[in-house]
Amino acid sequence: MRMNYLILSEKKMYSTAIKMMLDDLKKNNKIYEIFSDLKADLFNSKANIVVIGPNSLQNPYEICQEITRSFPLTAVLLLLNSEDIDYKKGMYSGAVDVLDIESDEQEVIDSLKKAETVVTLKIDADIDEDEKNNAKIITVCSTKGGVGKTTLSVNMAVAFNKHNLKVVVIDLDLQFGDAALLFDQQPTHTIYDWVKRSYENGDKSYQSFVTKDKFGIDILAAPALPEFAELITGEHITYLLEKMKKDYDVIIVDTPAAFVETSLVALESSDVILLIASLDLPTLKNGKLAIETLNLLGLKEKIYVILNRDSEMAGMTRSLVEEVLEMKIFGRIPSDYHTVISSINKGEPFVDMATRTPIAKAVMKISDQLLQEGQEEVEVNRKAKKKNKLFFFQRNKK
């Protein structure tokens, strides 16, 4: 990993001596006399080690503290006159080491190696954290009501939960959402309560407003009264999704049968959009319009068509569905009225209640396919990050 050494000292005698040592070690380096100039370069690069030499006009410990707080992926080494050394201040300011400017060269080199190790560990941890805290957002949608959006959302949540993933369901059918009901839950708090009692008061934390079901799935329920729906805005949903991405593996968003502001925000933030289709002309017509609308928004690549209530029907075939929608069917869920109604009435998702039924197996298969695609995507992103990181360091060699 190619490191950038940034030398800060108003005394040219010292900064030049440090630079000569780094040149001999073939380290990429640059001298600064003013902290503001160095700070500007820190904003535009990573893998930096700042070496702060003797300064009379600037407090080296204060500068060190500001750098370590504002640029956590940077390591700072203090090389000071013996009378200016205060190891306690150095520790509190976040310096990797504090050395006398007259120290033996090998001692300085050892401290530089320590600083390089610290930066490498920080960057690797930062990349791992980015990958870890990046929940997949799956939004279930259709522009026609009664096609099974909520039923699929709830059962998909349980399917992902069976893979030991931390899952939350957000009910964005803000007027008539009943996702909590399908989990047999009667929530005491809803998304409306979060907005009024937390978001608008500046706290903005959502954790105490989610309902947990027996599977350990979190549910952020729709408002108790339809008139509260208009008080939830796209701004609230944007904030909520960004925060939840850090706390969950999968976020499932159930939406109303209309493209309103809140559902559009969810769709734009999604990694996957599950568009529900069925073998009837009104649903296909609305599905076609939905795809055209999402295409205009640049979201068509995220769409996965799910054919619900798949069964033999005169004059309607799966190939006709694909022809009308101009998209391939990603997953098929067979028609099973008895199992679905029994599941809803009991408040027990059929993926858990009736695991051996074809309908439960179909939902599990869809979740497995999405997980497999997600893992492949993570691997591609990891390789891309590595490639970009190498490109960055190669660029800095020039």
Please answer whether residues 139 and 220 qualify as being in contact, where contact means their C-beta atoms are separated by less than 8 angstroms: no
Query: Which of 108-122, 207-221, 223-237, 325-339 is least confident?
Result: 108-122
For 29-86, write each residue's pLDDT tens digit: 999 988 888 888 887 777 899 999 988 778 899 999 999 888 888 999 999 999 999 9
Q: Is residue 73 part of a domain?
A: yes
For 211-258, write each residue's pLDDT tens digit: 999 888 999 999 999 999 999 999 999 999 999 998 899 999 999 988
* Domain harbouring 193, CATH code: 3.40.50.300
What single DSSP character describes residue 77? Answer: E
Whether residue 232 is found in the same domain as residue 271: yes
What 38-44 contacts at long range (C-beta under 8 Å, 24+ apart), as own/partner pairs, is: 38/6, 38/8, 39/67, 39/70, 41/6, 42/6, 42/67, 42/70, 42/71, 42/74
Q: Domain count for the chain, please give it.
A: 2
Q: Is residue 119 part of a domain?
A: yes
Its pTM stands at: 0.64
Q: Is residue 163 part of a domain?
A: yes
For 369-388, write each residue's pLDDT tens digit: 998 876 656 555 555 544 44
Q: Give the residue numbers spanning the domain of 47.
A: 4-130
Task: Using alpha carbons, list the distances in angstroms from residue 43 to 38, 93, 294.
Answer: 9, 20, 36
SS3 content of the chain, % helix, strand, coil (to 5): 50, 15, 30
pLDDT at residue 164 in the model: 83
Q: Among 97, 130, 163, where does a domain finish? A: 130
Q: Is residue 395 part of a domain?
A: no
Q: Among 104, 130, 156, where does a domain finish? A: 130
Q: Is residue 335 part of a domain?
A: yes
Whether residue 339 is found in the same domain as residue 320: yes
**What span, in angstroms and rounded, lies between the C-alpha atoms of 24 and 80?**
21
pLDDT at residue 397 in the model: 39
* Domain harbouring 28, CATH code: 3.40.50.2300
Burial annotation 323-348 (CB, 10 A radius, 16+ → b, else e): ebbebebbbbbebbeebbeebbeebb
pLDDT at residue 393 in the model: 34
Q: Is residue 108 part of a domain?
A: yes
Whether residue 217 is found in the same domain as residue 159: yes
Q: Among 130, 147, 180, where does a domain finish? A: 130
pLDDT at residue 147 in the model: 87
Whether residue 215 is found in the same domain as residue 326: yes
Average pLDDT along the chain: 87
